[in-house]
A = this chain, B = another copy of it.
Amino acid sequence: MNGEKTTNQRADGLNYAPKSEGVRHVVCRPGEFVFSAAYLDHGHIYGMATGLIEAGGELRHIYDPSENRAAAFKEKFPKVRVVSSLDEMLADSEVKLVVSAAVNNRRGAIGVRVMRGGKDFFCDKPLFTSLDQVEVARRTARETGRKYMGYFSERLHSECAVRAGELVREGRIGRVVQVIGLGPHRINIPSRPDWFFDRDCFGGIICDLGSHQIEQFLFFAGAGNARVASSRVANYAHKQYPKFQDFGEANLLADNGVAGYFRLDWFTPNALEAWGDGRTFILGTEGYIELRKYIDVGGTGEPDTLLLVNGTENERMNLHGKVGYPFFGELILDCLNRTENAMTQEHVFLTSELAIRAQDMAEMVEG
């Protein structure tokens, strides 16, 4: 986790662990919030653990069926205890929360076990790959009173996105009317496990990468609900993986009239010094915001660049290291105090349902 370039580009392709370089939001004392990590399939687990530790959490156990994966994780977090099952960490009454980045289609069942075990659950996105999984988790959360939270890193672990939320709330662009998200990703084939290319496992590109976008759309739109207007997926250039999807897009409409569009792809070219030129455009009646999240391509190259233009302001903000990631502390406090300030449970389930619906109804483009 040290020595990353600020563009979040690492030689080994592991760029999943943004680390606060400036502002930190510590919310509790050592030992006050203990959590554990189980099923470490996706590198996002590093970012999830880092975010919670930076906010004051104590990572106690890890569990993974692969000894290599557990050992690699322990190397980054040496104080952690490797245990031999999920049940072992659930049996520790001090553990409040279990974090997981299992293979996508197994996350729902693990979350249900965790909630039944009396702990809150914090899951990498996508949280589910089918509506049935969401339904079971919804019921379990209701019955147990436990939380099933989501790591939507493209907003929660992005300092410019955090600041954008504040600017929208302050009314700096008037009423929001549309949110556009561009989510290109570098595929880096040698770094990917087999399940990455199998739609049954990863859930489809809209379910997977699109859940970030839908979460942001609902958040910036201030929407309580939304419907999918249309969506499409394609596998344009990776025919050697017939169950893969390298392109996806969707149009949504929120219940408050705000429109949403996003495009996802696995075409980040190698000369880009970041894993993706992720953008968000928030259009308001009085102005607009553009986020150049991971790199200001063609400009300074810096991550966390926010552009704000309205009737009187035309501002460029370089926010890297200046905002921090308040979500993680809010999540810890929500778990300790049984509040919903970081994110509501309904928002999490709604995001997942919309992502799966957009995926399931997507037209498959032949090309």
Contact = CB atoms under 8 A, between A and B. Distances in A.
Contacts of A363: 229, 253
B177 A253 contact: no
A365 B259 contact: yes
A271 B237 contact: no
Measured as residues with beta carbon below 8 angstroms from the partner, the interface class of chain A is 35 or more
Interface of A: 174-175, 177-178, 180, 182, 184, 229-230, 232, 234, 236-237, 247, 249, 251, 253, 256-259, 261, 263, 265, 267, 269-273, 277, 281, 283-288, 290, 297-299, 305, 307, 309-314, 316, 363, 365-367
Given A175-B237, A251-B251, A263-B261, A271 B310 contact: yes
A271 B367 contact: no
B256 A367 contact: yes
Contact of A299 (B177, B261, B298, B312): B298
A299 B181 CA distance: 21
Contacts of A299: 298-299
A229 B261 CA distance: 13
A270 B312 contact: yes
A226 to B, nearest CB: 12
Contact of A236 (B175, B184, B237): B175
A103 B97 CA distance: 64
B263 A247 contact: no
